[in-house]
Amino acid sequence: MGILDGKRVLVTGVLTDASIAFHVARAAQQEGATIVLTGFGRLSLVRRIAQRLPEPPPVLELDVTDQEQIASLADRVREHVDGLDGVVHSIGNAPQSALGGNFLNTPWEDVSAALHISTYSLKALAMAALPLMPRGAAIVGMDFDASLAWPGYDWMGVAKAGLESCARYLARDLGPHGIRVNLLAAGPLRTMAAKSIPGFSDFEELWGKRAPLGWNLSDPGPVARGCVALLSDWFPATTGEIVHVDGGAHAIGG
């Protein structure tokens, strides 16, 4: 018996086998879920990576900024599963000018791209999936603690602060539908998204000092398991919440 037995879960954001979403999909399958993946842009790569999961799932194309792809998502998902008990938002991107200490000079066009992909997309994805979601379903998004300003994270930090607020408003408006919306604030992990952040190695030092439980930047396992827990029926009365899976670093000053 797994804690996601019989659940149908849409997982966005697989790019490589280091992607947080890849590990979420694997852990969810191990707990009994049926998975449908979405991929952006490099679909043949995503399909190849999907073959490495215990049960290779279907891969649908989804650019969260493409209104047609968002509008057709429910119908395309229905070709594989008859509903969705869970949706995982594991999507983030910002143009290079929005990262790495250029905060004061980033033009609006680049800020706007970061917010569209990394913040507004949670609402867009939730609404696209809503027709498929019964009462008791859960949406989980991936956050990086936005309560502080970080080295190099810049407009992506602003986008994550917006994501945190967006999740609370979605929790308010989807609660009456019986749908939970929560974020998981992950500690730093070595993924493609992380590689695009100049100075990402500073986080290794910070987490080395702060995380009372310790933190392995090469092990997405704890984040994947936390996400599976939030998707499961074991958080039935939790919504609008941010669960930190970061070795405890968020709780420690200095």
Ligand X SMILES: NC(=O)c1ccc[n+]([C@@H]2O[C@H](COP(=O)([O-])OP(=O)(O)OC[C@H]3O[C@@H](n4cnc5c(N)ncnc54)[C@H](O)[C@@H]3O)[C@@H](O)[C@H]2O)c1
Write down the number of H helices and E strands in the chain: 10, 7
Shortest Å, Cβ 16 to ligand X:
6
**Residues sharing a CB contact under 8 Å with residue 157, sequence separation 6 or more, in sequence order:** 144, 146, 149, 150
* Rounded least distance, CB 225 to ligand X, Å: 15
Report, in Å, the least distance between residue 235 CB and ligand X: 19
Nearer to ligand X, 134 or 223 (CB): 223
User: Which one, 5 or 204, has the nearer CB to ligand X?
Assistant: 204
Per-residue buried b or exposed e for 133-145, using 16+ beta carbons within 10 Å of the residue's own CB: beeebbbbbbbbb
Based on the residue annotation, tell me whether 160 is a catalytic residue of this protein. Answer: yes
Marked catalytic residue, from 7, 160, 169, 209: 160
245 bridge partner residues: 186
List 7, 120, 123, 153, catalytic entry: 153
- Which residues contact ligand X (rule: CB under 6 A)? 13-16, 19-21, 40, 62-65, 90-93, 117, 142-144, 186, 188-189, 191-194
Query: Hey, which residues does 37 pair with through a beta bridge?
Result: 11, 59
* 209 included as an active-site residue: no
Q: Is 41 left (phi over 0), alpha (psi -120 to 50) or beta?
A: left
* Catalytic machinery residues: 153, 160
